[in-house]
Structure 1
Amino acid sequence: MDGPTALVPRHYVAIGGRGPEDVVTDARGRVLTGVEDGRIVRLDGLTEPFAARVEVLAETGGRPLGLELLPDDALLVCDAVHGLLRVGLRDGVVRILVDSVAGERLRFCSNVIALSDGSVCFTVSSRRYPLEHWIGDLVEHTGTGRLLRLTPGSDRPEVLLEGLQFANGLAASGDESFLVVAETGARRLTRYWLTGLKAGRSEPFAEDLPGMPDNLWRAGPEGPVWVSLAGPRVPPLDLLHRTTPTVRRGAARLAVRAPFRPTAWSGVLAYDDQGTVVHHLTLRHSRFRMVTSVCETNGHLILGSLWERGVAVCEAPVTK
């Protein structure tokens, strides 16, 4: 991987709520996100620091994370409390699509995408830890993350892949022949084949990332897969992952009780469908911490964060 170039921030926009964990854009360039108190909001005018507008579209009553816009003016929402939801953007009606898998409560639904055949694929970060104790899963290295698929007309998702290290962001290749899954706890992206001779198999897509990948986003089949990096590589954590399960469990118990403050660092990557890095942008001493999502709109990158109370607007890099 080539060395990074500078991530150039332009301004910060407060949105009246904490933790815009995922950010996605609609056809008009507006940004949708969910915040800690359960609201789904739409942000307009972000590229002008004093013209931004915040509109509440719906309330899930839980904690919305990953989002995916649908063509019929609806939104798929991964809610860490209620599961996989469908939200009407015109009427604000919230409907639960999936709240359990094979009788097990869906407790940490993370990111979701819709495919052209009508199926919905989504990730579960951990089967052991809830969102509020996410750091416990990263420390213990449980490998209980999952990739699931809900086919049209079904209310029972199938497990495509399990044993993932904190499964997080999700994106499809341009031709939908494979999915890319972010494994935050392993600092890697994993490819899961949907079609072809390798259908049903997985393999590394990108490994040894310079930070912990979180949500993924792409504008369309021709655009790159953008990868948000929630934090830089932590060498002591890499060493801890090589210890015994007993040691990791003990460390996780301490981690969930300790105060947490993210590193003053921001980073994003972008890959093409061959797994080649297209962009690698970082900013040390960043005032915007814990970048958990990134999207592009109107010539700017919009960064979301589980930690912050707003979004960051940055310069979009020149396409290579």
Structure 2
Amino acid sequence: MMRIVKGLGIILGILILYLCFWPVEIDPVAWESMADEGLVGDFSPNTFLSAADVFGSGDGIGPEDIDVDYEGRIYAPYEDGRILRYDSNGAHPELFVNTNGRPLGLEFDAKGNLIICDAKKGLLSATPTGQLQSLLTEAEGVPLKITDDVDIASDGTIYFSDASTRWGLGQYRNDIAEHRAYGRLIAFDPATNDVDVVLDGLYFANGVAVSPDQSYVLVNETSAYRIQKVWISGEKVGQSEILMDNLPGIPDGISSNGKGIFWVAFPSKRKEIIDKFAEKPFVRKMIMRLPEDLQPALERYAFIIGIDGDGNVIHNLQDPSPESFSPITSVEEHEGFLYLGSLTYEGFGRIKAPD
């Protein structure tokens, strides 16, 4: 019996040493997380998204962003590099292009080219016939690590996010665990090839949306639970401010409907354990030494809000059901419908937009 106890003690000691001292890649910092107020007030739970229809089941996994062309055809990027094109009813998929990377954000320019944020290949462009071209693989001498989301201003300038300058898509957990500000908002002018880092020091820069009046850009900071507003014209040009802070979910994609509403997608509510260990970087290193299956996982929860340019919540759409279409990572409004993307779901969603 004593031999068994001794053996268990040795195993426990080895485990403690491993969790405390085994080398890991990350160098986390302490940060102060504001108390999560939860789903109350403007964010009160509801079941609006339970009416969402799902398309593309069986076609692939992870159409993270969805876009629609001038003919009403739907484009969905999958994790294996394919971008499929569907008819306006979400049927008859055909291969539009294969980036041989991991396409994420999509946006059509004024010429009908599909601008693609590819986490592995950088910023790409595909002609209406599917001819692929690389636009950018670095900004100011720093390689793009996770080219994430994109929007295009009326003058043709492409605004996009580089979520992290240190970690690639397969290591995004490291970026979240470290909580260092590696993210960037970048502007690229395809007419001149000029590149400008509009804003850096972002905590996992994610969704990007240009305002209808072209005066500012919104960018989501996923691991800081907030939305930044960056002025690109007018008296405040070059300045930035926090539009919304201490959000009750993990903000991912954001898009403008062109009529004053910005749609924000939350793939999950906040996770208490992540906030709990915000000021304990040593504990976060211990967690990252665990097998991935034992690390804290975000809870699937269908959650979208529509906000105005001042950060007021106009629409609050949710579905708490475990059968919901979730996690939702993007929302695009087109002709009265919301198109829902997901980084991990098999297929994309669509639901009639609220009045």
TM over 0.5: yes
- 2:54 maps to 12
Is 2:235 aligned against 1:197? yes
TM-fit CA distance, 1:218? 2.1
Once the two structures are overlaid, the 10-residue window that deviates more, 110-119 or 100-109, is 100-109
* Cα distance per residue 1:114-134 (max 9 Å; x no partner): 111221111011122211222
* Cα distance per residue 1:92-142 (max 9 Å; x no partner): 111111101233221211011111122111101112221122222122212
SS of 1:163's equivalent in the other structure is strand
Is 2:73 aligned against 1:30? yes
Whether the 8 Å contact between 2:116 and 2:125 is mirrored in structure 1 is yes
TM-fit CA distance, 1:152? 4.2
Over the aligned positions, Cα root-mean-square deviation in angstroms equals 2.1
Provide closer, same or farther for how the CA distance between residues 257 and 283 of structure 1 changes in structure 2, counting only shifts above 3 A: closer
- 2:158 maps to 120
TM-score (structure 1 length as normaliser): 0.90
- What's the % identity of the aligned pairs? 36
CA distance in 1, matches of 2:289, 2:123: 28
Counterpart among 121, 125, 132 of residue 86 in structure 1: 125
Provide closer, same or farther for how the CA distance between residues 182 and 40 of structure 1 changes in structure 2, counting only shifts above 3 A: same
* Cα distance per residue 1:189-246 (max 9 Å; x no partner): 11001122221111111112221111112232x14111111111112212222334x5
SS of 1:200's equivalent in the other structure is coil
SS of 2:126's equivalent in the other structure is strand
- 1:285 maps to 321
- 2:87 maps to 44
The structure in which a higher percent of residues are helix is 2
Provide closer, same or farther for how the CA distance between residues 119 and 66 of structure 1 changes in structure 2, counting only shifts above 3 A: same
Provide closer, same or farther for how the CA distance between residues 169 and 128 of structure 1 changes in structure 2, counting only shifts above 3 A: same
Number of matched pairs? 311
Once the two structures are overlaid, the 10-residue window that deviates more, 162-171 or 205-214, is 205-214
Counterpart among 216, 240, 244 of residue 277 in structure 2: 240
Structure 2: tracts of 5 or more residues without a match: 1-40
CA distance in 2, matches of 1:53, 1:226: 28
TM-fit CA distance, 1:252? 3.9
The structure in which a higher percent of residues are strand is 1
Counterpart among 326, 337, 342 of residue 305 in structure 1: 342
TM-fit CA distance, 1:30? 2.8
- 1:65 maps to 104
- 1:21 maps to 64
Whether the 8 Å contact between 1:139 and 1:255 is mirrored in structure 2 is no
* Cα distance per residue 1:227-281 (max 9 Å; x no partner): 111111112212222334x544454454757578652311001111222111111
Structure 1: tracts of 5 or more residues without a match: none
SS of 2:148's equivalent in the other structure is strand
Whether the 8 Å contact between 2:211 and 2:256 is mirrored in structure 1 is no
Task: Mark the structure with the bigger radius of gyration.
Answer: 2
